[in-house]
C-alpha cells in the first residue's frame, strides 16, 4: 500500500506509519449509522468479475488525533485473468464541509417537521370537530376551539417566517424599511400581548428616562424583542421577567432579564448559532432559529446583541441600536 497526496495532511498518519497496514483496520471506517464499512472493495464487488471500479461512497474514518473525518471514497481495481482483484487504487476526499451542510439540512427538516406537526395536528383536529359537531357545541366551546386554531396558525406562520428570514440573512437579501420609531412604544406593545397569557410569571418594564427615537425597521425590532421575551418566559419556571431600556448620547440599549438558571459560559459562545438550543431547564422546544435571526436583524441595523448573567442569577439578553440622526 502507498500513502500518497494530501493523505498525511488530512489524516495525520505518515506514510511510514501506515504503509503495510490493513487500511480498514487502521482507519476503522464506518457508515453514517456507525456500522462497520470498508475502504477497499467489499465481498459483493469482489464477486463481480467485470467490475473495475466503484462510484463514490461516504465513510467516516479515524484520524491520528482520534477525530472522525467524513471522506468520499472511489476505487479502481486491477484484476487477473480469472477476475480476482490483485490491486486496488482508492482515492479518499475530505468531504466534511459537504457532509456538514447535508447533515444541517437534515437537522432543519427534522426540527421543522417536529415543530410543525403539533400545531397542524391541533388545527386539523379542532377544525374537524367544529365541522362535524357545530350544532351540538355551545358558544364558549366554539370560541375556545377557534382561538386555539388561530393561535396555532400564528405559530405555523411564525416558523415559516423564521425560515424565510434565515434564507434572506444568509443570502444578503434582507430588506430593512427604516423609519423613525419609538422603541418604548414597541416594548409596551409586545408586553401587552404577553401579559394576558402569563400565569406563573410577572413582567416589569423600566424605561430609564426619555428614550429618543431610532431609525430602524419597526417590525424587525418588534420581532427581536418578542423573541427575547418569549425565551425568557420559556426558560423561567416562574418569577419575574424584566425589560429595561436606556439611552445614551449615541444609542439605545434594551435588555430582557429572567430568573431562571444562567446560561453556562461555554454555551454563551454558541447561543446565537443557528439551530442551537440551550440545555438549561425549561421548555427547549423550537427550531433554534430565534436568537440566530435576532442577531442577524440587530447587526443589520448596525447594533450589537449579547447575553450575560443577570444580577441575582438568570440570564440577561441585551442589544443596542444607534439613535436616529437629529
Q: What is the CATH number of the domain that holds 207?
A: 3.30.565.10
pLDDT value for 21: 77
- Which residue, 150, 58, 148, is CA-closest to 96? 58
What are the two backbone dihedrals, phi and then psi, of residue 56, each rounded to the nearest 5 degrees?
-65, 135
Residue 34 lies inside a defined structural domain of this protein: yes
3-state secondary structure 177-207: CCEEECHHHHHHHHHHHHHHHCCCEEEEEEE
The rounded percent of the chain whose pLDDT value lies above 90 is: 31
Give me the domain span that covers residue 129.
100-171
In a domain, 2, yes or no: no
Do 217 and 147 belong to one domain? no
| H runs (alpha helix) in the chain | 7-11, 15-18, 23-27, 43-47, 96-133, 139-171, 183-194, 218-234, 265-268, 290-300
Dist CA 168 CA 131 (whole Å): 39
Name the CA radius of gyration of the chain, rounded.
28
Q: Which residues contact 54 (CB under 8 A, 6 or more apart)?
A: 41, 45, 74, 75
Same domain, 165 and 34: no
1 in a domain, yes or no? no
Handedness of CA 99, 102, 103, 104 (dihedral sign): positive
How confident is the model at residue 83, as a pLDDT?
73
Does a structural domain hold residue 110?
A: yes
- Residues in contact with 305: Cβ distance below 8 Å, sequence separation at least 6, in sequence order: 224, 272, 294, 295, 298, 299, 317, 318, 319, 320
| Separation of alpha carbons 277 and 260, rounded Å | 15
Give me 129's grid cell. Answer: 370537530
Tens-place pLDDT, residues 100-112: 767 666 666 776 7
Same domain, 82 and 25: yes
Last residue of a domain, one of 171, 199, 216: 171
Q: Per-residue confidence at 127, pLDDT binned at 50, 70, 90? A: very high
| Domain final residue, candidates 63, 94, 125 | 94
Cα gap 288→144, rounded to integer Å: 29
Assigned domain for 317 exists: yes
**CA 214 – CA 148 distance, rounded (Å):** 36
Nine cell digits for residue 79: 484484476
Instruction: Using the CB atoms, write b or e for 128-142: b if 16+ within 10 Å.
Output: eeeeeeeeeeeeeee
Does residue 252 fall inside a structural domain?
Answer: yes
Cell triple for 100: 456538514
Average confidence (pLDDT) over 111-121:
79
Select from 74, 94, 114 the last residue of a domain.
94
The predicted-structure confidence for 25-41, as pLDDT tens digits, reads as follows: 778 888 877 888 888 66
The total of structural domains in the chain comes to: 3
User: Do both 216 and 294 map to the same domain?
Assistant: yes
Higher pLDDT, 109 or 200: 200
The answer to whether residues 165 and 205 belong to one domain is: no
Domain with residue 22: its CATH number is: 3.30.450.20
Q: Are residues 316 and 184 in the same domain?
A: yes
- The answer to whether 7 and 13 have CB atoms below 8 angstroms apart is yes
Confidence at residue 285, expressed as pLDDT on a 0 to 100 scale:
58
Residue 204 in any domain: the answer is: yes
- Do 304 and 260 lie in one domain? The reply is yes
On whether both 312 and 211 belong to a single domain, the answer is yes
266 and 150 in a single domain? The answer is no
* pLDDT at site 173: 85
Q: pLDDT category, 44, cuts 50, 70, 90?
A: low
Question: Residues 165, 224: one domain?
Answer: no
Decide if pLDDT at 52 tops 80: no
pLDDT 10s digits, 258-284: 988 888 888 888 899 877 776 665 555
- First-to-last alpha carbon distance for the chain, in angstroms, is 73
Q: Are residues 86 and 107 in the same domain?
A: no
Predicted confidence band of residue 125 (pLDDT cuts 50, 70, 90): very high
Which of 137, 121, 313 lies closest to 235 in space, CA to CA? 313
Is 136 contained in some domain?
yes
**How buried is 289 (Cβ within 10 angstroms: 0-12 exposed, 13-18 middle, 19+ buried)?**
buried
Position 205 confidence tier, pLDDT thresholds 50, 70, 90: very high
d(CA 249, CA 276): 35
- The reply to whether 209 and 315 lie within a common domain is yes
CATH number at residue 111: 1.10.287.130
**Mean residue pLDDT across the chain:** 84
Backbone phi and psi for residue 71, each to the nearest 5 degrees, phi listed first: -130, 150
Amino acid at each position: 500500500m502507498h500513502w500518497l497526496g494530501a493523505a498525511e495532511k488530512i489524516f495525520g498518519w505518515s506514510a511510514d506509519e501506515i504503509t503495510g497496514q490493513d487500511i480498514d483496520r487502521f482507519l476503522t471506517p464506518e457508515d453514517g449509522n456507525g456500522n462497520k464499512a470498508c475502504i477497499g472493495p467489499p465481498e459483493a464487488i469482489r464477486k463481480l468479475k467485470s467490475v473495475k471500479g466503484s462510484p463514490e461512497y461516504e465513510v467516516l474514518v479515524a484520524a491520528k488525533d482520534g477525530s472522525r473525518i467524513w471522506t468520499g471514497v472511489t476505487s479502481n481495481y486491477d484484476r487477473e485473468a480469472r477476475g480476482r482483484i490483485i490491486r486496488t487504487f482508492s482515492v479518499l476526499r475530505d468531504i466534511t464541509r459537504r457532509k456538514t451542510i447535508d447533515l444541517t439540512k437534515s437537522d432543519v427538516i427534522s426540527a421543522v417537521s417536529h415543530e410543525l406537526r403539533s400545531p397542524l395536528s391541533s388545527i386539523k383536529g379542532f377544525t374537524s370537530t367544529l365541522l362535524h359537531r357545530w350544532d351540538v357545541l355551545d358558544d364558549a366551546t366554539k370560541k375556545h376551539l377557534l382561538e386555539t386554531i388561530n393561535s396555532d396558525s400564528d405559530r405555523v406562520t411564525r416558523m415559516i417566517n423564521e425560515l424565510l428570514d434565515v434564507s434572506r440573512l444568509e443570502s444578503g437579501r434582507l430588506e430593512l424599511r427604516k423609519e423613525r420609531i419609538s422603541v418604548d412604544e414597541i416594548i409596551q406593545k409586545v408586553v401587552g400581548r404577553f401579559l394576558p397569557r402569563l400565569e406563573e410569571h410577572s413582567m416589569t418594564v423600566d424605561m430609564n428616562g426619555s428614550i429618543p427615537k431610532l431609525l430602524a425597521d419597526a417590525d424587525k425590532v418588534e420581532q427581536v424583542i418578542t423573541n427575547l421575551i418569549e425565551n425568557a418566559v420559556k426558560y423561567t419556571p416562574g418569577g419575574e421577567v424584566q425589560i429595561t431600556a436606556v439611552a445614551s448620547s449615541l444609542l439605545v440599549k434594551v435588555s430582557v432579564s429572567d430568573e431562571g438558571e444562567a446560561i453556562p459560559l461555554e454555551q454563551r459562545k454558541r447561543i446565537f448559532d443557528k439551530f442551537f438550543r440551550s440545555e438549561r431547564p425549561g421548555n427547549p422546544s423550537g427550531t433554534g432559529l430565534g436568537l440566530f435571526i435576532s442577531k442577524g436583524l440587530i447587526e443589520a441595523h448596525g447594533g450589537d446583541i449579547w447575553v450575560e448573567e443577570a444580577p441575582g442569577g438568570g440570564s440577561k439578553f441585551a442589544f443596542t441600536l444607534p439613535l436616529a440622526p437629529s
